[in-house]
Structure 1
Amino acid sequence: MTRKDRWLLWIFLAPSLGLIGLFLYWPMVGTVIESFYATSFISPNPEFVGFDGYREVFSDRDFDDVFWNSIAWTLGVVVFQNMLGFLAAMLLNQGLPFRGVTRALVLMPFVLPGVVTAILWRFMYDPQLGLVNSLMIRTGLASETSAWLANPDTAMAAVIFVAVWKGFPFSMLIYLAALQTVDRSQLEAATLDGAGPLRRLWDVTLPAIRHVILVNVVLTLILTFNYFDIVWVMTRGGPQQATHIFPTKIYETGFGQFRFGEAATYGVVSILVLAVLVALYVIVQAGANRRGRRT
């Protein structure tokens, strides 16, 4: 590129970069600044507290609950979403009849808005009228109804199940596209050599799409850690903070209790975690691109 071309490039990019900086990065900077102040709806004059706000948040038991809940929520959803998505992609990649209709039906949970999904499953988890308890009692899996969302021991598992149900079609689409790029001649050669289905999967299919798996796992880590709708609508972080994760804690602290400084502190911690995940995603994606160019 010539010097003139570089100037033209920056001129055309300037409006987009300005909007991104104004609506994305400036609020992030404002959040970091606000985290150093003790601000609330009642106090008209914010008090500068520096890192004392961080020390207070880190020493609070609520932070430990939110942190470990976020880890359990993120890992639970990502692991099961990717496993189920991969299995569904393997099934739909076969020569099944009505593949188009089946794929459209499998995609239905993903296209539903998160709020609609959460409301739907709240009714299904209802102790008296919910379909989940009814099916479990009729099939002999349970002898009495359970308040899934009101029990601290089952609430997190219940919301993770819903998130996996909604999110696995996303992973399925990515894996299905990747499976269709696997070299069929290698699969046929492995079959002629006597390799069974599991052996072909381990030695041929997985190595061919390993970069796609890595990118998908890191991407779903980012999306899941920052997810809000399902948890908030279904449980609002309860019961007894059993399902509070960073997004719900930030929302409740800032807009429910009007403790904006503390909410900003939680937000900064969340931004740092997301920054690490985004950096990991960029590294994995760059490595995948380099391997793609070599091949």
Structure 2
Amino acid sequence: MARKPVLAFAFVAPALLFLAATLAWPLVSAFILSLQNVRGIGTSGQWVGFENYRFILTYAAFWESAGLSLVWVLANAVVQTVLALAAALILHQKFPGVRVARTWIILTWIVPTVVVVMIWRWLFSTSGGMINPLLMQLGILDRPVGFFATPESAFATLVFINSWRWFPFIALMMLAGLSRIPTELYEAARIDGANAFKRFTRITWPLLAPTLTVLLIIGTLLSFNVFDIIWLMTQGGPAGGTRTLPILIYETAFRSYRMSEAATIAVLATILLMAFAVLATRSLARSGEER
């Protein structure tokens, strides 16, 4: 019995070494860089200790971006969960073409980001786009609006685009969770006279909760680190209204040429995400033990 843990560790050791080489070393390098005053790539700098951390923690732009990142994560979590749950419940039903629908829904997730940006930039354009004329025909708008004209509208539009990109993947994970729920429970509930709402609240939602928790953890980590869609659509504008922490890190490093300060922000963001991942994982493990 004593050999089993050693044997198990021997099997996972190559993967751990690979993770150490690809993750741990860059993090250590970023931390060392954050303790210096390096400005450009390849330049030397003096050792300043934790001076960069003291500056960043009193830097107004850092806290503004951190707040935007928090709102970004929460907004994406709500929109993606609602869209994914609705799609999963529909695809869980039996109707002609359901297998085709399950295959086609994943296409929005596998489309390259650049293509997604080009499509939605054209659709939301005030000159030639299709969204404004459609909303005007439906009577929702009386004149064209600029979806990227104000910080609030640009932020909301990006949340929609990012959620549209990612909700099919989450929907498929939810669909897998739904398929593990025994159909006998639904049949028994129907015999007892439970309507669709009660079947959802008493059976579907509680049994799907573990899957939703895992997806919440993964979705939070992925949403927090989204850079490509935001940068390609707005580059953090207008007026910094979409400048989340990844955008701030890029601007600090490659526009302001303050590599050490950018590394400091990256280290702080990493610590925040690691703390969230550890707490969420422990909470998930406790809930699993209680069940």
**TM-score w.r.t. structure 1 length?**
0.91
TM-superposed CA distance for 1:42, in Å, is 8.4
Q: Is the 8 A contact 1:156 1:242 kept in 2?
A: yes
- Read off the aligned partner of 2:184 and give its amino acid letter: S
Spell out the pairing of 1:231-270 with structure 2 (5 A cutoff).
Answer: 231-270=230-269
1:167 aligns with 2:170: no
Aligned match of 1:51: 50
Spell out the pairing of 1:121-140 with structure 2 (5 A cutoff).
Answer: 121-140=120-139
Aligned match of 1:99: 98
Q: 1 CA distance for matches of 2:206 and 2:9?
A: 40
Render the CA deviation track for 1:168-195: whole Å, top value 9, x for unaligned. 1111111111111112112111111111
Aligned match of 2:193: 194
**Residue 25 of structure 1: SS of its match in structure 2?**
helix
Q: 1 CA distance for matches of 2:206 and 2:42?
A: 58
- List runs of 5+ in structure 1 lacking aligned partners: none
Q: 1 CA distance for matches of 2:23 and 2:41?
A: 27
**Residue 109 of structure 1: SS of its match in structure 2?**
helix
Q: Is the 8 A contact 1:65 1:241 kept in 2?
A: no
- Read off the aligned partner of 1:217 and give its amino acid letter: L
1:180 aligns with 2:179: yes
Q: 2 CA distance for matches of 1:13 and 1:192?
A: 49
Q: 2 CA distance for matches of 1:239 and 1:204?
A: 45
Spell out the pairing of 1:3-82 with structure 2 (5 A cutoff).
Answer: 3=3, 10=9, 13-41=12-40, 44-82=43-81
Q: 2 CA distance for matches of 1:188 and 1:10?
A: 45
More displaced, 5-14 or 52-61?
5-14
**Residue 190 of structure 1: SS of its match in structure 2?**
helix
**Residue 243 of structure 2: SS of its match in structure 1?**
coil
Q: 2 CA distance for matches of 1:88 and 1:42?
A: 46
TM-superposed CA distance for 1:140, in Å, is 1.9
**Residue 241 of structure 2: SS of its match in structure 1?**
coil
Render the CA deviation track for 1:110-141: whole Å, top value 9, x for unaligned. 11122321222112221212222221222221
Identity of aligned residues (%): 32
Q: 2 CA distance for matches of 1:150 and 1:257?
A: 25
Aligned length, in residue pairs: 291
Q: 1 CA distance for matches of 2:12 and 2:89?
A: 41
More displaced, 39-48 or 69-78?
39-48
Q: Is the 8 A contact 2:62 2:245 kept in 1?
A: no
1:211 aligns with 2:210: yes
Render the CA deviation track for 1:82-120: whole Å, top value 9, x for unaligned. 111011111111112110111222222111122321222
- Classify 1:9/1:196 alpha carbon distance in 2 versus 1 (closer, same or farther; 3 Å): closer
More displaced, 237-246 or 35-44?
35-44
- Read off the aligned partner of 1:115 and give its amino acid letter: V
Render the CA deviation track for 1:16-69: whole Å, top value 9, x for unaligned. 333321221011011112112221018943132222212222222211220111
Q: 1 CA distance for matches of 2:68 and 2:269?
A: 13
TM-superposed CA distance for 1:8, in Å, is 5.7
- Classify 1:42/1:208 alpha carbon distance in 2 versus 1 (closer, same or farther; 3 Å): closer
Q: Is the 8 A contact 1:36 1:261 kept in 2?
A: yes
- Read off the aligned partner of 1:255 and give its amino acid letter: F
Aligned match of 1:141: 140
- List runs of 5+ in structure 2 lacking aligned partners: none
- Read off the aligned partner of 1:230 and give its amino acid letter: I
Q: Is the 8 A contact 2:41 2:259 kept in 1?
A: no
Q: 2 CA distance for matches of 1:171 and 1:16?
A: 26
- Read off the aligned partner of 2:273 and give its amino acid letter: L
Q: Is the 8 A contact 2:126 2:146 kept in 1?
A: yes
More displaced, 117-126 or 5-14?
5-14
- Read off the aligned partner of 1:79 and give its amino acid letter: V
Q: Is the 8 A contact 2:174 2:212 kept in 1?
A: yes
Q: 2 CA distance for matches of 1:174 and 1:288?
A: 20
Alignment RMSD: 2.1
Aligned match of 2:155: 156
Q: 1 CA distance for matches of 2:9 and 2:178?
A: 39
TM-superposed CA distance for 1:11, in Å, is 5.1
